[in-house]
């Protein structure tokens, strides 16, 4: 895929993120891997107004890959994206959003446990919640990298959710699933703590996912 095609796809997925209700205003950010660094959404620009030329190509250090007049500033969360891509060479896309139900759980520092088999979609038995750190900091990046070790999704305490994918489409699908699971879990908690699937039951789910090329394997 050419960089121009990546720019167009990133804009389309960003707009879908807001249209689906997963994100609001300018709070989310997305990135894809490109030669020499990453392509990321700009700071403080609503997705509905964003065009392919507004995306910012940066190195892992945060510096622009090419100096251009009128170039926008990258998202304040560029470090989170750069560090995740650097730590996971198999990953091509990072998506961060403030979806309502996932963020509600994150505000309590609660992971999503294996109350439903679809928690396996993120590659593990549960969906972890990383500890709190100020947005845009190296500390936040380090906590997210740790929480995403071997996984494709995590919550960020008092912040939101992050998903990874071998494509933007996969990262978006997982973000939608995480938000759906968060909403179901919050509903289930109204009747008390729901029973959880055992490690053996979740192992069978992972095996079924692998045999069907489903979930984290998609």
Q: Which residues are catalytic?
A: 77
Q: How would you list the strands of the sheet with 93-97, edge to edge?
A: 56-58, 37-40, 29-34, 93-97, 160-165, 153-156, 129-130
Query: How far, in Å, CA of 140 to CA of 168, rounded?
Result: 22
Closest by Cα among 46, 8, 34, 145 to 92: 34
CA dihedral 16, 70, 65, 48 (to 10 degrees): 0
Helix (H, G, I), strand (E, B), or coil: what is residue 156?
Answer: strand
Return the half-sphere exposure (C-beta side, CA atoms, 13 A cut-off) of residue 130: 26
Cβ neighbour number for residue 211 with a 10 Å cutoff: 9
DSSP 103-116: HHHHTTT--B-SSS
Query: What values do phi and psi take at 30, rounded to 5?
Result: -135, 155
């Amino acid at each position: 895929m050419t960089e121009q095609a990546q720019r167009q796809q990133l804009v389309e997925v960003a707009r879908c993120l807001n249209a689906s209700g997963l994100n609001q205003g300018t709070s989310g950010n997305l990135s894809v891997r490109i030669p020499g660094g990453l392509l990321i959404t700009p700071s403080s620009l609503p997705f509905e107004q964003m065009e392919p030329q507004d995306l910012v190509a940066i190195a892992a250090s945060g510096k622009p890959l090419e100096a251009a007049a009128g170039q926008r500033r990258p998202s304040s969360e560029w470090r989170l994206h750069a560090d995740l891509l650097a730590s996971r060479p198999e990953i091509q896309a990072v998506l961060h959003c403030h979806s309502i139900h996932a963020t509600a759980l994150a505000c309590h520092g609660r992971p999503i446990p294996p109350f439903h088999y679809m928690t396996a979609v993120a590659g593990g038995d549960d969906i972890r919640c990383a500890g709190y750190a100020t947005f845009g900091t190296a500390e936040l990046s380090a906590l997210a990298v740790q929480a995403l070790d071997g996984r494709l999704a995590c919550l960020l305490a008092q912040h939101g959710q992050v998903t990874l994918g071998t494509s933007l489409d996969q990262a978006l699908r997982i973000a939608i699933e995480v938000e759906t699971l968060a909403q179901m879990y919050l509903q289930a908690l109204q009747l008390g703590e729901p029973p959880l699937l055992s490690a053996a039951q979740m192992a069978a789910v992972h095996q079924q996912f692998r045999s069907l090329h489903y979930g984290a394997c998609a």
